A and B are shown apart, each in its own frame.
Chain A
Amino acid sequence: MSAPLVTRQDEFLKTDELFINLGPQHPSTHGVLRVGLTVKGEVIVKAVPDVGYLHRGTEKLSEVRGYHHCVVLTDRWDYVAAMPNNLVFCLAAEKLMNLQVPERANYLRTIMCELNRIASHLLFFGTYGIDIGAFTPFLYAFREREMVLDLFEMACGARLTYNYIRLGGVMSDITPEWTSKTREFLDYFKARLEEYDSLLTYNPIFQDRTKTVGLVSADQAIAWGLSGPNLRASGVDYDARKFEPYAAYDKVRFEVPLGKGGSCFDRYFCRVREMGESVRIVEQCLDQMKEGEFMAKGVAKVPKPQPGEAYAHVEGARGNLGIYLVSDGGQSPYRMHVRAPSFINLAILQEILEGKKVADVIAILGSIDIVLGEVDR
């Protein structure tokens, strides 16, 4: 740690602090995030994340749109993993409407969410490699992500904004061809995961860069409200899929990878191992799934739920994604609030960045894995 070294120089030399705008246009802020950095040499004195460049007001927009329309809006929050977004809105709305989702739809939702988790974590893996300076893992990750997106395209017709999970079920059923292609992908992907490990995870330079920086203790993580892999990397065993199962998660067996120290490496490693668990979940779902309806009967074209409120949360790719819906009996929600994991995870940045190096800013920012569409909504 060279922070004391810099302060000691102050006694002899007059040094000045430097203010750097990291973003909103910067190769590694993953979108339009601005971090105001005050640095002394290469050491961060103060870091202030500034959000709001991508604000589209989807919470407000939902107040003038029907429930079916809101699903389309949800796609645009976390555009890297839009399936959980769809799902969480549908879960909340179904609670309001007392809709029973068919068994098969639950499995389909689980499969799609897990595939999307793989896609999202692959994006994280790739961009984190770039943040650390390795370019090749990025393209390897995108090669695999492309296959997942192809699967989505085959199932629902879109590659990014799916609008697949609907109130009362899913948009369409999967075909046997889709199933065989998915199995093909999963088999292929398991071998790739090992390669990722040798390419990046066990690379000494990578470990050196990430293992000792961005430490978040378990208490700190809870205090700042972290969720998802960021929380689990600190050793807190909380996963909504396990503790409040939704969809078909109570019928499959999987582990929740936990980290130890809460360093950047732990956060990274949690995600990489989660991809392996997602593969397991998808395989089990494909095995267990039975023929049946994929959409509940009697979903109103223009739903008007009874006045009331509902909260649903799922384990999205980035953390605990929650939706609070209030209905006044009209055809659009009276109020929708999104608990966006990226936004809440981002807040801890100002605490853990202090005293780190400029290079570490990128490593830590990348390891928190934010999507600006979700931060700003």
Chain B
Amino acid sequence: MSAPKNPADKHAASNGSSAKVPPAAAVVPPAPAAPAKPAPKPKVEIKEPVFNPAYKGALLTHDRYWPTQRWKAPWSLRSYRRGALALGALLLGAFGLTAAVGELAPWGALLQSAVSGLLSSSFAASGVWILLKVLVVLHIILVAPIFLVWWERKISAHIQSRLGPMTVGGWHGWLQTVADGIKLLFKEDITPIAADRWVHRLAPVIVVIPAILAFAPISFGRELAAADIDVGVLYIFAVAGVSVIGIVMAGWASGNKYSLLGGLRSAAQLVSYELPRSFSIVPVLMFAGSLNLTRIADSQAGYWFGVIPRWYIFYPVVGQISFLIFLIASVAETNRVPFDIPEAESELVAGFHTEFSGMKFSLFFLAEYAYVLLASCLTAAFFMGGGGSPLPWAPWTWIPSWAWFLAKTLGIVFCFLWFRWTFPRFRVDRLMDFNWKFLLPWSFVNIALASIYLLI
């Protein structure tokens, strides 16, 4: 065996000189035909290897993809610079766009006046306005998961030193989820023989409908709520709680033992975590003195010392404990790692949605992301001042309230994704211990602390 040369050098040399070296034929010159006398064996000519210029894709060497090489100077990588530039441009573009559009309420008023000009009765006009609001909100819920899934895949990929989807849509696979959605639509809908047919069919619907309904009272910025009801918080928790039934139904009706275990686990988990989740926001409700989400958000307006926003998360001790418990319980409510025991991939295959395929499966998926979004919206409204600007100065106050709300929501969503790709999974009984022996007592203690605040 000859002494191995560095393939990198060889590759570079061959690539560099491929233009000069004429593409030599791969065939070795044939031996002379029928020699008269036993001639000495023809010396086989050994040519320098030539790398295939027509080879699909660039030829690379291993060195370039060793982390030791890649991480040495990230800014010298063209792709890294381009990615950073794209990210910066995206943020700047979003800033400019939102600042240019401004508050949505005036546009809405404009629209309403136009509509009421067309329709004579004021009742019909207000009905149309409500319908428009509902449509806007519904689209936020139904379109956001498409974006969130892509976002999750990209963030998880980058956390794991990968790139994630890169092909569909041209730029960083931004249409990947749309393609996946279309694929799911066209997939065969399989109902197992052992399944309880009607319950099996009904389960995804029961999971997804509350997920959409629960968004009604959320104010996506100033005067942008589908239904500005006074018991908004109570309504959200009540409606969102219904989804558990759907999950249990899915687990039971699949006729699969793993699904059954997953369904039972989720019943226990979701019902348990409702409690600390509700109790953790009691201090917020006490401070705000209202169950109306818009009013809760509005009560956080203003700044301490002109700098620190009066958000509930910044209330010393109480705010932080409240926020953390709410965040943890929300992660648990949305069945995500580290609380994803109902679908625990490595234990229960896929938990309660093992036997669902096609659009039924995607409804579960939609519901999961809708709940992530809901939890993030609630966190933003309860603890981060809804649509309020974090700083009272000029460039920040240009951004309208709905954009701030969106930004805060996405920030919390990022936390959800970040947790998911960092933590291992709890065990069922430890999960319950954590809930009943840690979160719940501390949420009670927190309520007591909050009451002391109110007394002072």
Q: Which A residues are closer than 8 A to B by beta carbons?
A: 2, 18, 20, 26-28, 42, 129-136, 139-140, 143-144, 147, 150, 153-154, 172, 175, 177, 184-185, 188, 199-200, 203, 205-206, 208-209, 357-362
Contact = CB atoms under 8 A, between A and B. Distances in A.
Given A26-B349, A28-B347, A131-B346, A205 B66 contact: no
A143 B347 CA distance: 25
Contact of B424 (A20, A150, A209): A209
B217 to A, nearest CB: 34
A134 B337 CA distance: 8
B426 A199 contact: no
Given A172-B1, A175-B3, A132 B257 contact: no
Contacts, number: 104
Given A42-B428, A177-B4, A359-B344, 12 more contacts: A130-B346, A133-B344, A133-B345, A133-B426, A134-B422, A136-B156, A150-B66, A175-B4, A203-B424, A205-B423, A208-B430, A357-B428
B332 to A, nearest CB: 13
B62 A150 contact: yes
B425 A188 contact: no
Contacts of A362: 346-347
B162 to A, nearest CB: 7
A20 B6 CA distance: 53
Contacts of A27: 345-346, 349
* In the A-B complex, the 8 residue pairs with the closest CB atoms: A133-B425, A134-B424, A139-B160, A28-B346, A132-B424, A133-B424, A359-B427, A206-B424
B428 A359 contact: yes
B161 interface: yes
B257 A205 contact: no
A259 B66 CA distance: 33
A132 B429 contact: no
B3 A136 contact: no
B337 A133 contact: yes
A52 to B, nearest CB: 22
A362 B258 CA distance: 14
A175 B421 CA distance: 39
Interface in B327-343: 337-338, 340-341
Nearest to B63: A181
Q: Interface size class for chain B?
A: 35 or more
Contacts of B6: 177
Interface centre among B344, B347, B348 (most CB of A within 10 A): B347
Nearest to B425: A133
B261 interface: yes
Nearest to A130: B346
B68 interface: yes
7 contacts: A132-B425, A133-B338, A135-B337, A175-B3, A185-B66, A209-B426, A360-B427
A361 B427 CA distance: 11
B262 to A, nearest CB: 10
B127 interface: no
Interface string B422-455: 1111111110000000000000000000000000
A357 B68 CA distance: 42
A139 to B, nearest CB: 4
A46 to B, nearest CB: 15
Given A18-B257, A133-B337, A139-B160, A357 B346 contact: no
Tell me which of A133, A135, A184, A185 has the highest count of chain B C-beta atoms within 10 A of its own C-beta.
Answer: A133
Contact of B423 (A130, A154, A203, A358): A203
Contacts of A129: 424
Contacts of B159: 136
Nearest to A192: B67
Nearest to A203: B424
A209 B430 CA distance: 8
A200 B160 CA distance: 14
Contacts of B265: 42
A108 to B, nearest CB: 15
Contact of B160 (A136, A205, A358): A136
B337 A143 contact: no
A359 B160 contact: no
A71 B160 CA distance: 36
A199 to B, nearest CB: 7
A188 B337 contact: no
Contacts of A134: 337, 422-425
A358 B345 contact: no
Q: Which of A2, A359, A362 has the most CB of B within 10 A?
A: A359
Nearest to B346: A28
Contacts of B338: 133, 205
Given A150-B66, A172-B1, A205 B162 contact: no
Contact of A42 (B1, B4, B261, B349): B261
Given A133-B340, A139-B162, A208 B427 contact: yes
A147 B71 CA distance: 14
Contacts of A361: 347
Nearest to B162: A139
Contacts of A28: 346-347
Contacts of A26: 349
Contacts of B345: 27, 130, 133
Contacts of B257: 18, 20
A153 to B, nearest CB: 8
Contacts of A200: 424
B161 A140 contact: yes
Nearest to A127: B346
Nearest to B161: A143
Contacts of A18: 257
A82 B338 CA distance: 35
Contacts of A150: 62, 66
Given A28-B347, A357-B427, A143 B67 contact: yes
